[in-house]
Amino acid sequence: MAKLKEFNTTELPTWCPGCGNYSIIASVKKTLSELNLEPQNTVLVSGVGCFAKLPYWIKTNGFVGLHGRSLPVAQGVKLANPKLTVLAFGGDGDGYGEGGNHFLHACRRNVDITYIVHNNSVFGLTTGQYSPTSEKGRKSKSSLLGSTEQPINPLAIAIASGATFVARAYAGHTKETVEILKKAINHKGFAFVDIIQPCPSYVPEHNQKYFKDKIDYLDETHNSGDKIKSMENALKGGFEEKSVCGIIYQEK
């Protein structure tokens, strides 16, 4: 097994105290270690956002590109050298807003990469504007009277667009997140994992206490190969309701 310390850098993350990104980066490192992946044969690609600093703080190959553009770069890397393990990272603003078009087409192209989206329902780096996953009515710098838009459902979009692996995790549950990420990376094809996380700076009400009773894991009776049932589970929940976590859909 690759030692966890092999993925540590000398620099330390500078996210806000309590940010869910700390849990996510710990989960990613643990996942890479447990899968015995070699740092020199692993590539992390990100776009723009608070999450996007992650490749700076994991000792692998890294590429930080443009806002919403991690997926085309990651697909290019994988197609150029299929032997590499390639992970793309996005945020709910970066990945579902600016990068929404790339997301749709990555799902249907099914290139063998893993796409991990840090979903805190806010544009954190640009100080608190509402994002594509923000609940209707959210008041922010860009919606002083409350947003008038319905939030998107990335899980349902991914299944409808042809993704062959669709899952959701919660940043506060490291053990479960690691198991989901391991299965995603081992999946042959496009694997998508939406990770719900808190943003204590701009959405302080969505804290760990808030999420405690809002995370609902699928049990072993769920047939992830049943696309219709998987879509039904994908359509459940959101930040204001219980969010279904686990392997939502996987093409066998």
Per-residue pLDDT of the chain (252 residues; tens, 9 = 90+): 678 888 999 999 999 999 999 999 999 999 999 999 999 999 999 999 999 999 999 999 999 999 999 999 999 999 999 999 999 999 999 999 999 999 999 999 999 999 999 999 999 999 999 999 999 999 998 899 999 999 999 999 999 999 999 999 999 999 999 999 999 999 999 999 999 999 999 999 988 888 888 899 999 899 999 999 999 999 986 666 788 999 999 997
Q: Please state whether beta strands 85-91 and 61-64 pair in parallel, antiparallel, or not at all (unpaired).
A: unpaired
C-alpha 158/C-alpha 74 separation (Å) is 17
Distant-in-sequence contacts of 229-235, Cβ < 8 A, 24+ apart: 230/159, 230/166, 231/156, 231/159, 231/160, 234/153, 234/155, 234/156, 234/158, 234/159, 234/166, 235/153, 235/155, 235/156
CA distances (Å), 194 to each of 19, 20, 145, 153, in order? Answer: 16, 13, 28, 10
Compute the half-sphere exposure of residue 30: CA atoms within 13 Å on the CB side of its CA: 15
What's residue 220's pLDDT? Answer: 85
What's residue 149's pLDDT? Answer: 92
Q: Please state whether beta strands 165-170 and 243-250 pair in parallel, antiparallel, or not at all (unpaired).
A: antiparallel
For tokens 């769920």, the residue is 222
Q: Which two tokens stand for residue 192?
A: 């998508």
Is residue 32 within 8 Å of 25, Cβ to Cβ?
Answer: no
What's residue 239's pLDDT? Answer: 64
